[in-house]
Structure 1
């Protein structure tokens, strides 16, 4: 594997270890399955038709070679492909060479589809239970399509490497920007919402994104790793939004962007008790202060108009901020500085 100008070189020992770990049929099957979404040991045991100790041993070897990652979600442990760009490129190249019509690969895919269908059924049950309340809240502000259209216009159409969605909820932001990113991670504190997000990603056929249980004040991801970070309808739930914005800023790559979508200040006090809103909206001045403390530059500030009159309404605001640092070109590239996005 020859490193491209944008891909870091790999030392010989690491590459040999990775090849050894992948060079076994069951482990290769696991890598293929994880390339299509994160799974638990139980999921893999069912799909592979192997005992849990055997599957666990394969996972241990793949973890030790840094080809996959493990993260805890309550009492469940999920496994997914490594976040490392070179590992994903390495695995993608191998998996792309496999014959999708191979009987073993076909059978694994059929069993994986059954696992994902059960996920979607559980997510649908949870979603239908809470749908009435969510619909009531959405009726108070501009249609989601209008908000998303404004947001996508501000972000643009240029592809980028990595996205992080803080407070991912149903995973809608991961779906919206899937055509642009190579990999993405969604973080949320609700296991129920993660189930919904995971099912939605499965249904949309999005395999380059994963969701994880985590705290927005200390996300379980590496710093300086993301070109776009979204905080969609998140800040009004937080006791310390300034801290969350500062943490998000630390996770941005040079020239990376932070997209914040939230409500302008309002007087709908029932949202505190009925929907656990800590803050009744966020002002432009507050956003400016939080971004300034985080060392980010505000690039865009837009209001999405609502389409109905009355006092019982919310105004949606979108703020786009950028990390002022720039990436220094590698020795393989021009010596000029260039923005990532």
Structure 2
């Protein structure tokens, strides 16, 4: 999967639809989470940094975590071009490697969960990364029939059922769970919905 995203990193931001989608997700995040200027956040599956950079403009520091070195290079090039210096990058897979010792006020992840073999394990990892009372914000596809990506070799889940996700979040140690529609993505004659799930670490 690393090679897949490395090969696409330079052109990732060339899609106006993807840019609009991330803008919609961030707007939904701002509606559901009261971002604070002294927060430290972690963005998992940060990719080229579309969400990371938006967060970096609003909080004190952001860790960007991704498997793709190519995506990280693009992210930091954009950060330098914009004079943004409050981002730490980490190439890691939190489902297979030790988690950082740091604790965060906010953990975000946008359209990464469907690439993960064991989402409940990752959600538990997110909980362990958060301060008590810290916030989680996860955006992903609602359940779909597998037609969203076309090429599904790197896809592990065809979206998620909201009720099942809420139960998984509760089991991982979260409460105050809220799941709303954050964005719509049109492809051909199909419209796919993207949710934003927010929750508080118990």
Same fold (TM over 0.5): yes
Matches within 5 A, 1:156-305: 156-217=34-95, 218=97, 220-223=99-102, 225-269=103-147, 271=149, 273-274=151-152, 276-305=154-183
Report how far residue 177 of structure 1 moved.
1.5
1:319 to 194, 197, 200: 197
Superposed CA deviations along residues 136-158 of structure 1, whole A, max 9, x for unmatched, are 9749xx73322221122222243
Shift of 1:165: 0.9
Bigger shift: 242-251 or 199-208?
199-208
Structure 1, unmatched stretches of 5+, are 1-122, 325-341
- Name the count of aligned residue pairs: 195
Distance 2:187 2:67 in 1: 34
Match status 1:147 vs 2:30: no
User: TM-score scaled to structure 1, two decimals?
Assistant: 0.52
The higher-RCO structure (CA 8 Å, 6+ apart) is 2
> Hey, what does 2:3 align to over in structure 1?
none
Contact 1:298 1:319 survives alignment (8 Å):
no
- Gaps in structure 2 of 5+ consecutive residues: 1-5
Greater share of helix residues, 1 or 2? 1
TM-score (norm 2): 0.84
C-alpha RMSD over aligned residues: 2.7
Give 1:173 shift.
2.1
The 1:291–1:191 alpha-carbon spacing in structure 2 relative to 1, beyond 3 Å, is same
Mapped to 2, the partners of 1:270 and 1:310 lie a distance apart of 10
- Shift of the 126–261 alpha-carbon distance from structure 1 to 2, 3 Å rule, reads closer
- Distance change (3 Å), C-alpha of 1:275 and 1:206: farther
